[in-house]
Amino acid sequence: QTNSYTPQSCSNGAIPIGEFPNMLSRFTCQDKDPPETCRITGKFITQAAYLKVYAYSNSAQGMIDILPSLQNLTQCLALKDTLSSIVSNQCKP
């Protein structure tokens, strides 16, 4: 059984994983900001928590971006295509 990756558009109102840090940044309290200022302005996410989300989000988006290439590699499509091209174009009798 082979699992396959099919890119899909996000449903209306969904936030793609790569955009999640942008959305959270509006609610992130910077270390230099006084806690009271953060509370008043509705910034309830610590900078440390934001940086963890940012790292996770970037890693997940990177995997999503390279998944089609990884699938091709695991199926040896790049090698098959290269060998097919060589045989078809350079090894004719």
Q: What's the domain range around 49? A: 17-87
Instruction: Describe the crossing of helices 77-90 and 47-74 by its angle, rounded to 10 degrees.
Output: 40
Q: Give the number of domains in the chain.
A: 1
Rounded to two decimals, the pTM is 0.64
> 10 lies in a domain?
no
Give me the pLDDT at residue 66, please. Answer: 86
Question: Bigger pLDDT: 59 or 6?
Answer: 59
CA distances from 48 to 19, 28, 29, 55 (A): 18, 9, 9, 11
**6 assigned to some structural domain:** no
pLDDT tens-digit readout, 23-71: 999 999 999 999 999 999 999 999 999 999 999 999 988 888 888 887 7
pLDDT of residue 2: 47
